[in-house]
Structure 1
């Protein structure tokens, strides 16, 4: 708005008001006196322009967007702490701290030991918020035990399992928060409508996306299909957390659901995806050398689809589509690949359309 208010323009305006019989040439007393004022006015106009942009949601910085959105009762979704299972050969005290991959984890409540493991299982909570902990697993190193009487030498095995029971999420990005701010003008959350259910379920830690099916078994029944914040299938613990937070008493109003609404919570179903293709590598490169990069490209594509799972349903009321053309394009973009042919998805040379309750999970890439 104030782009024209430059030092040169301001000097011209200031000097134009000086009587004609007074010297205004560069180096004169009047010129030298007005020059600092023009610089200060230019800076003031720059700051006014910045301030003006902060008053609009579309052009404001994140901090000022938060203030604008707060007027509509909206706050950013904050980063959460990853929870995984830890398996030990002995029972350990609550609050025992471990280290892995430069992240500290604290033992919590005891948990049923998963199939295939023996020993004592506990819920382990990462002390650092954000998605960086979601991919961490392996051998834990003991750092601190709150019970001085506990014999730490008894710990022979301490393993953090791969799958998160409650995956962490990062703080909501500015772009996502801005989109939610704009959406608040189009879909008002109120009294158990779809927008209200989505807002409340999204506020629960570990939830990355949700589909709401109203009146799915008649009036008063609602179904929520969810995925984790890692954009994979929701764990049984996460499904239970959402159910207990929203509707622990089946319609009696003990949670966030309106009285009389019985909520069923289920995880989206993962569909294993096998991708095959004939790849022509560059001279001096073998297909085997390209395998890992191609697998990563396919994983990235399917993850992007999962991240868009909720939006696709909200926009088009349909499930995701795994597209053959996109697969071929992603493989071609891998360094070292010069051509790709005969691509298939689960043995079929066509797009794969999923139900709105399904998400694609990469099982294998054969090239």
Structure 2
């Protein structure tokens, strides 16, 4: 917080007591333990406490100082402050994905069937449950794929491929279940810093009359949205396209896309039934993911023994962070070869590298077009 106002400076118990004693005539005993000292000390204590309360009230009265840096804390004062401008905290979003059932051909798996990840008794990690959102009948090969959504909203529902293996709701004729792809778009309740960021965007960059800034603001009001690209005249006059990311800077899930569509232009007939003005037809779409595949030969340090698997994980982490920074950043729509090289050089256990290829190309940047987002694909590390 900025410097305190003068009326809250030097308001400690000692300072207040000294000022009070200075007002007492000099011919009266003011030493510690005297009647006057004992009478004024409790007052000084209460006034110093009141000054602390005033400082706290001042801190909580402004959005910038009410917001907490603790990702697990949510400031109610920040909620009140942002709500004055129509910006409310976004709720948690459940992860979604698909699972493949195998078993007897013709078996039907109804909507609402529960599947789960196995619990880990060693680490104490609890099972994560999902429910199918549509029914599926196994084909002649005894396989069928159904969409799922996590029972509990939040990032905990984002799990890698191959971990959903438990039939929490047993069904005769079903022998196994597996998620062949990761589940994604699960989002925790919005943090103070993200809410503050949206609040500043609203008050500092006013959207009006259906301009691009306003479409962006509208989309960002939906829980789970982590990025928006607005394309005016998407399919000619009277059309607007919005590409949407989730908070992990991946293509938004169908649930998030549907929620944004319903909020902005539910009828898509130009009648202005949503927030969009009458006239334009607005289409909401998930971003198109562009996989960034990396292969490289590395030389490892001898002082800190490491494995290629450890190096691979460090490369994946560094490149993911870099790609998230690029998401919908139109001032530089390139995945740069030099920036990926810098990620490798920033890993202490890599002394040197060679034969770095991005999507099979050496010394070439990858251009990311309109509505596209770069995401990490495969990483191959060798010596």
**TM-score category of the 2 structures, normalised to the smaller one:** 0.7 to 0.9
Match of 2:234 among 183, 202, 216: 216
Report the number of matched residues: 352
CA RMSD of aligned residues (A): 3.2
Instruction: Provide closer, same or farther for how the CA distance between residues 82 and 276 of structure 1 changes in structure 2, counting only shifts above 3 A.
Output: closer
Counterpart CA distance in 1 for 2:238 and 2:261 is 16
3-state SS of paired residue (1:41): helix
- 1:366 maps to 2:372: no
Instruction: Provide closer, same or farther for how the CA distance between residues 311 and 59 of structure 1 changes in structure 2, counting only shifts above 3 A.
Output: farther
Query: 2:280 aligns to what?
Result: 261
Query: 2:173 aligns to what?
Result: 154
Query: 2:298 aligns to what?
Result: 279
Contact 2:323 2:335 in 1 (8 A): no
Query: 1:194 aligns to what?
Result: 212
Equivalent positions of 1:327-338 (< 5 A) are 327-338=340-351
Instruction: Provide closer, same or farther for how the CA distance between residues 332 and 27 of structure 1 changes in structure 2, counting only shifts above 3 A.
Output: farther
Counterpart CA distance in 2 for 1:240 and 1:162 is 21
Deviates more, 1:28-37 or 1:289-298: 289-298
Instruction: Provide closer, same or farther for how the CA distance between residues 8 and 199 of structure 1 changes in structure 2, counting only shifts above 3 A.
Output: same
Counterpart CA distance in 2 for 1:254 and 1:365 is 50
Deviates more, 1:19-28 or 1:254-263: 254-263
Equivalent positions of 1:1-367 (< 5 A) are 1=4, 2-61=8-67, 62-88=75-101, 89=103, 90-101=107-118, 102-110=127-135, 119-137=143-161, 138-144=163-169, 152-164=171-183, 167-204=185-222, 206-234=224-252, 242-243=260-261, 246-283=265-302, 289-309=306-326, 312-313=329-330, 316=331, 318-319=332-333, 321-340=334-353, 343-346=356-359, 347-349=361-363, 351-362=365-376, 363-367=378-382
Contact 1:111 1:123 in 2 (8 A): no
Counterpart CA distance in 2 for 1:311 and 1:176 is 17
3-state SS of paired residue (2:133): strand
Counterpart CA distance in 2 for 1:106 and 1:202 is 27
Instruction: Provide closer, same or farther for how the CA distance between residues 51 and 10 of structure 1 changes in structure 2, counting only shifts above 3 A.
Output: same
Shift in Å, 1:254: 4.9
TM-score (norm 2): 0.79
Shift in Å, 1:272: 2.9
TM-score (norm 1): 0.82
Shift in Å, 1:240: 6.0
Counterpart CA distance in 2 for 1:59 and 1:113 is 56
Counterpart CA distance in 2 for 1:263 and 1:111 is 32
Gaps in structure 2 of 5+ consecutive residues: 68-74, 119-126
Counterpart CA distance in 2 for 1:353 and 1:132 is 32
Query: 2:123 aligns to what?
Result: none
Shift in Å, 1:342: 6.1
Instruction: Provide closer, same or farther for how the CA distance between residues 104 and 236 of structure 1 changes in structure 2, counting only shifts above 3 A.
Output: closer
Instruction: Provide closer, same or farther for how the CA distance between residues 284 and 68 of structure 1 changes in structure 2, counting only shifts above 3 A.
Output: closer
Instruction: Provide closer, same or farther for how the CA distance between residues 45 and 113 of structure 1 changes in structure 2, counting only shifts above 3 A.
Output: farther
CA deviation map 1:188-207 (0-9, x unaligned):
23443223322333344554
Counterpart CA distance in 1 for 2:253 and 2:273 is 23
Shift in Å, 1:48: 0.8
Counterpart CA distance in 1 for 2:321 and 2:252 is 17
Shift in Å, 1:172: 2.2
Gaps in structure 1 of 5+ consecutive residues: 146-151
Contact 1:87 1:113 in 2 (8 A): no
